[in-house]
Chains A and B, each alone.
Chain A
Amino acid sequence: MILVFTTAVIALFSSIVWYVTSPLFEGESTVPLGINQGDLDRKKQVLLRQIKELEMDHHIGNISDEDFDGSRHTLKQEISEIIAELKKVS
């Protein structure tokens, strides 16, 4: 029983060592491109949602016309920059 248990523990330990160290000897050393794209997409989604909320605030009178125009312009500009970056990455 003890022998089986010891063997099982050694097998577990070896599997752990292999699982953690194997990527160090194979695979890509640079960050995959898709990851950066994902970040930019996420930022774009956040900004689009902010524009939607801004429009909602404007419609129910929680923000003045002047503020609305200014904030929407800034957000749209940020989105344009991200789209430009996304184009560069892809």
Chain B
Amino acid sequence: MTPVLGSISLSLGLGLAAISIFLFSVFLQKADYRFFVGGWRAAVLVSALSILATFLLLNELLASNFDIRYVAHYTSLETPTIYKVTALWAGQSGSLLFWLFILSVYTLIVLFKYRNSYTALMPWVIIVLVIVQAFFLILVNFVENPFSPTVADFVVANGNGLNPLLQNLTMAIHPPTLYLGYVGFTIPFAFAIAALITKDTGSVWIRSIRRWTLIAWLFQSAGVILGGWWAYQELGWGGYWAWDPVENASFMPWLTGTAFLHSIIIQEKKGMLKTWNMILILLTFTLCIFGTFLTRSGVMSSVHSFAVSDLGPVFLGFIVLILVVCISLILVRLPILKSEKRIESFTSRESGFLFNNVIFIVICFAVFWGTIFPVLSEAVRGEKITVGAPFFNQVNVPIGLLLLLFTGIGPLLAWRRTSNQAFVRNFTLPILTGLIVFIACFILGIRNTTLVSFPLVGFVLTAILTEFQRGIRSRTSRFNESIFVALKTLISKNRSRYGGYIVHLGIVFMFIGFSGNAFDSELEFALKKGEVKEFDGYNFELVSIQTVERPNHMAWIAALNVWNIQHQLVTRLFPEKRVYFHRDPNPDKRQPHSELDIHTTLNKDIYSIFSGIDTDQQIAYLKIMINPLVWWVWFGGYVLVFGTMISLWPAKD
């Protein structure tokens, strides 16, 4: 009965979406508030039914009801409970339902929070949200129904089980976090469309969606970082970012979303960049849908190709529809989107923000081009030309460093124009710091990109700390506060600004981590029990190989002692070679998998992979990588999340 109830919920949801849109249309024509209430209630039900359907599917996954095709395909009796939950977004139809679920939760919050406000905007905001919901409801009703029954002539006693790569705790957090980001951008998008339609394009709508954009951006950032963490922990190639199409798909809306968060400050303060802001938020949402399309259509070969389907044309159609509507609306409203002021000086904060925006867009375009080029080349010339990491690194590393530079320059510039006196006062210390770091790096013999990145890190860190120091000094002189109290009050009374600076600190720390890539080293070797291999200042000793059987896999565990050159034990590593579905009588269904072990310190990671085993000879085939400064990437991520949460925290009125 539950699957039937699930299907009914989804069908009713779609019908109610149509009714809601109809009632709001009548309200907009007749200005009869009763139709607003009716439409609002229908919208509430669309969300409630979508949420109900999601919980029904979750219930079936936990109950291992293999009569449902989705449950049989992505879980088995041996699948641990946590991964039965994560199976909800492991496959095509489940993940589409999960998208709808998150959108429904967001929509419910909007519906109840703004029920009595934004009178002009709200009907259109709700219509846009319901249209997006309706699109996903069409997909789960007619294209990929998660409640479809299993087609078999026999009783299905057990399911296929979950892909081993997805049986990782990070995978329990990474996709929902990223989805919260992707879907979250629908709210500012809906407000943008509503503002365009109602011609209310001033700073009030921008203020109203700032928090929503930050929430989406926070989740998008955390999702991207967690994705990197998962790749680093699980995929076993020693890196955290491979410029994979699906990684790029999550990065592109992050870039435009970040640009938007910066440029709306200009609109709020100066009434400038109205058209630009509209373009950015519409582009961000379109890229979110494009990202879902890339992940779900299987059009690109990717490490994320967990699902391949024929959803592509439907998604492409929706993307084209969004673009046509958005571009038409912007063109029609161009006269009211004109800036109230102009940028007066090259050395103004406004131009700093504009440069930063241009850099974000250039990076986004480069990533977009590199991502879709293989598909375009195949469509036009019939041959698939792969665009790999070297292209993306060659293009994006210099632009990224330029972006880092502007992260430092921006806060040092004054609004409208920076006087010569202020220029010298603000820039002297950061430039001096950058120069000192450059000389130090040069003396230490560094000759790669870090010769540029480390001095820039020094410059930007000093610039940000200078900004804090100026704020503290202002408070201590005006209110006679101690430094600590001044810092606390400064942040709590200006959460948005100083939270933003903390986010910038996080980005700087991440750049320290990225710079470490230039010093990576690796070695593959075979070891017998008791043998030792020397590499990069360490001795690796294979102590033992243990065999362990667990509920859903069996594993060989290599115990490795790592000694430094002073013969002190640094750490013990336990990389594993696993075989999932090892009890399956069909050997083709057994899936090998290497589970890594990593020793992390502030300055380097020792990354061990158990890539193969000779069981007869008891030989372990190992790969060791020394990855400097990776810790800083994750630490920067924490700081970024912390800073965003400070920005988000409501200020006392």
| A interface with B by C-beta (< 8 Å) | 1, 5, 9, 13, 16, 19-21, 23-32, 34-36, 38-39, 42-43, 45-46, 49-50, 53-54, 56-57, 59-64, 67, 71
Name 22 A/B residue pairs within 8 A (Cβ), A-sorted: A1-B1, A5-B1, A16-B16, A20-B16, A24-B35, A27-B33, A31-B33, A32-B33, A32-B116, A34-B116, A35-B119, A36-B119, A39-B120, A42-B117, A43-B204, A56-B471, A56-B493, A60-B474, A62-B415, A63-B414, A64-B419, A67-B415
Give per-residue flags for B554-598: 1 if the beta carbon is below 8 A from chain A beta carbons, else 0: 000000000000000000000000000000000000000000000
How many B residues have CB within 8 A of the partner chain?
47
- B527 shortest CB reach to chain A, Å: 60
CB-based A-B contact count at 8 angstroms: 99
A1 CB contacts on chain B under 8 angstroms: 1
Interface class of chain A by DSSP:
helix
Q: Could you tell me which B residues sit within 8 Å of A by CB distance?
A: 1, 4-5, 8, 12, 16, 19, 23, 31-38, 41-42, 45, 116-120, 203-204, 207-208, 268-269, 349, 414-417, 419, 422, 470-471, 473-474, 478, 493-494, 497, 651, 653
Is B41 within 8 A of A20, CB to CB? yes
Tell me whether B478 and A35 are in contact (CB under 8 A). no
Evaluate contact between B119 and A31: CB separation under 8 angstroms.
yes
Tell me if B35 and A28 are in contact (CB < 8 A): no
Beyond contacts A20-B45, A59-B474: 15 other A-B pairs, Cβ-Cβ < 8 A, are: A16-B16, A19-B45, A20-B19, A24-B38, A26-B34, A27-B37, A29-B33, A29-B34, A42-B118, A46-B207, A50-B203, A50-B269, A53-B269, A56-B474, A56-B494
A30 to B35, CA, bound (A): 10
Chain B residues positioned under 8 Å from A50 (CB to CB): 203, 268-269
Task: Report whether B415 and A24 are in contact in the complex, using a CB–CB cutoff of 8 Å.
Answer: no
Compute how far the CA of A30 lies from the CA of B37 in the bound complex, rounded to whole angstroms: 11
CB distance from A17 to the nearest CB of B (A): 10
Residues in B whose Cβ lies below 8 Å from that of A26: 34
Chain A positions within 8 Å of B474 at CB level = 56, 59-60
Query: What chain A residues lie within 8 Å of B32 (beta carbons)?
Result: 29
* Residues of A with C-beta under 8 A to B416: 63-64, 67
Nearest 10 pairs between A and B by C-beta? A23-B37, A59-B474, A38-B117, A46-B207, A60-B470, A63-B415, A29-B32, A60-B474, A20-B42, A23-B38
Q: Which residue of B lies closest to A28 (CB)?
A: B33
User: Which chain A positions have C-beta within 8 A of B415?
Assistant: 57, 62-63, 67
A50 to B204, CA, bound (A): 11
